[in-house]
């Protein structure tokens, strides 16, 4: 494909602007041709800000209007499945926000339909492109700590402390922090360490009731994972943690047969440390080559400077090859989410 890829974006949130419109707008091989949102005036304002020529209030109208090669689904979780299927039915390439769906059955349908349609599909697990996370994968692949045997992962932020939880706190629309942050972590576990085979989970919702008085979606999760390799570990997730400026904080520790790897990743800081059998603790710098035009104080700039996220998807479309992470990766993470929900409901270990 020599002409710019014409993209329709569904969603007008601040995240849509920071990620999708910024990333696609920085790519000379992409053109955001249409924007879809539920609030007409706000949608027009966002479109004007980013130079998008057409706006719509319904994704079906946007797709039916034509003039698109691809669609970004950046809507709330409960809308991912129907919106993605509508785009696939029209033969469009699709990039969908994580979590891919509400259930593993929905995610599997999306994956199989995308594969049958022969389009390029991607699930936006943003952590896969960040330099420090890529470096952890390299260290593990190089055997720096030997065989991974156990792990303890923590991913928390304080955004749930805000009163305007909106749809993320509504159990009718979201699986709470388990899917919001957990989908990222469960994807990382597979990417770094291999498939998950068993889950035990305890979920709590400490936030206020929804507008209709229902109990909130979970905003705290404790999950134990068993892996096909024999390794096991724990995952702690929270959206109501008091951290600096409510900044997302990620702490990953992996214990291996020959050493231990620690990574503490909180914007804008990233520190990776190793201890091995023949050396003490030491900080291992993230190689400059992994920044792809970004900098240590602004690692998320990879999405506007390099082949990352939406730009990587556009590149795959132009080159006629699969993108990664794809809908299969989204389906795999959804399987862990579903198993965790079942485990929390029954109080028993659940197989994935």
Average pLDDT over the chain reads 93
What secondary structure does DSSP assign to 164-190, as a single string? --GGGG-TTT--HHHHHTHHHHHHHHH
CA 219 to chain centroid, in Å, comes to 17
Give pTM, 2 decimals: 0.95
Nearest to 306 by CA among 50, 128, 73, 49: 128
Res. 279: pLDDT tops 80:
no
pLDDT at 269: 67
pLDDT at 34: 98
For 56-91, the pLDDT digits (tens) are 999 999 999 999 999 999 999 999 999 999 999 999
For 100-150, the pLDDT digits (tens) are 999 999 999 999 999 999 999 999 999 999 999 999 999 999 999 999 999
Name the least confident of 32-46, 211-225, 273-287, 330-344.
273-287
pLDDT at 192: 98
Res. 290: pLDDT tops 80:
yes
Q: What percent of the chain has pLDDT over 70?
A: 95
239-262 burial string, b = 16+ CB within 10 Å, else e? bbbeeeebebbbebbbbbeebbbb
CA end-to-end span of the chain: 39
CA 311 to chain centroid, in Å, comes to 15
How far apart are alpha carbons 85 and 117 in whole angstroms?
11
How far apart are alpha carbons 88 and 102 in whole angstroms?
18
Res. 268: pLDDT tops 70:
no
pLDDT at 163: 63
* 99 cis-preceded (ω within 30 degrees of 0): yes
Domains within the chain, CATH numbers bracketed: 5-126+306-324 (3.40.50.720), 128-299+334-351 (3.30.360.10)
For 218-254, the pLDDT digits (tens) are 999 999 999 999 999 999 999 998 887 657 889 999 9
Q: Would you report the helix, strand and coil content of the chain in percent, each value rounded to 5?
A: 40, 25, 35
Name the band, by pLDDT with cuts 50, 70 and 90, for residue 327: very high
pLDDT at 296: 87
pLDDT at 133: 95
Q: CB–CB of 135/28 below 8 Å?
A: no
How far apart are alpha carbons 345 and 336 in whole angstroms?
14
Q: Name residue 224's beta-bridge partners.
A: 200, 234
For 140-199, the pLDDT digits (tens) are 999 999 999 999 999 998 887 876 556 677 877 889 999 999 999 999 999 999 999 999
Return the SS3 of 281.
Answer: strand
pLDDT at 161: 80
CA 23 to chain centroid, in Å, comes to 15
Return the SS3 of 349.
Answer: coil
- For 343, residues 6+ apart whose C-beta sits below 8 A from its C-beta are 199, 200, 201, 349, 350
């Amino acid at each position: 494909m020599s002409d710019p890829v014409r993209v329709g974006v569904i969603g007008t949130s601040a995240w849509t602007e920071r990620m999708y419109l910024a990333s696609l707008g920085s790519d000379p091989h992409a053109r955001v041709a249409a924007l879809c949102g539920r609030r007409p005036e706000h949608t027009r304002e966002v479109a004007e800000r980013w130079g998008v020529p057409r706006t719509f209030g319904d994704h079906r109208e946007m797709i039916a209007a034509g003039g698109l090669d691809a669609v970004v689904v950046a809507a709330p979780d409960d809308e991912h499945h129907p919106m993605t299927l509508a785009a696939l039915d029209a033969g469009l390439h699709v990039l969908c926000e994580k979590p891919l769906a509400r259930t593993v059955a929905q995610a599997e349908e999306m994956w199989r339909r995308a594969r049958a349609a022969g389009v390029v599909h991607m699930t936006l697990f943003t952590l896969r492109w960040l330099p420090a996370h890529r470096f952890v994968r390299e260290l593990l692949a190089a055997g720096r700590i030997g065989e991974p045997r156990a792990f303890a992962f923590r991913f928390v932020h304080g955004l749930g402390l805000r009163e305007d939880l909106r749809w993320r706190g509504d159990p009718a629309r979201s699986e709470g922090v388990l899917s919001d942050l957990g989908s990222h972590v469960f994807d990382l576990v597979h990417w770094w360490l291999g498939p998950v085979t068993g889950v035990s989970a305890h979920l709590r919702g400490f936030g206020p009731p929804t507008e209709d008085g229902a109990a909130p979606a979970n905003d705290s999760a404790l999950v134990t994972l068993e892996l096909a390799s024999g390794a096991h570990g724990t995952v702690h997730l929270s959206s109501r943690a008091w951290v600096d400026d409510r900044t997302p904080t990620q702490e990953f520790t992996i214990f291996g047969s020959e050493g231990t790897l620690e990574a503490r990743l909180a914007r804008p800081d990233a520190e990776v440390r190793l201890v091995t059998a023949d050396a003490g603790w030491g900080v291992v710098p993230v190689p400059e080559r992994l920044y792809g035009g970004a900098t240590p104080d602004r690692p998320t700039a990879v999405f506007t400077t390099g082949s990352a996220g939406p730009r990587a998807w556009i590149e795959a479309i132009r080159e006629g090859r699969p993108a990664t992470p794809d809908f299969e990766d989204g389906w795999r993470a959804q399987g862990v989410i579903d198993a965790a929900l079942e485990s929390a409901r029954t109080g028993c270990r659940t197989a994935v």
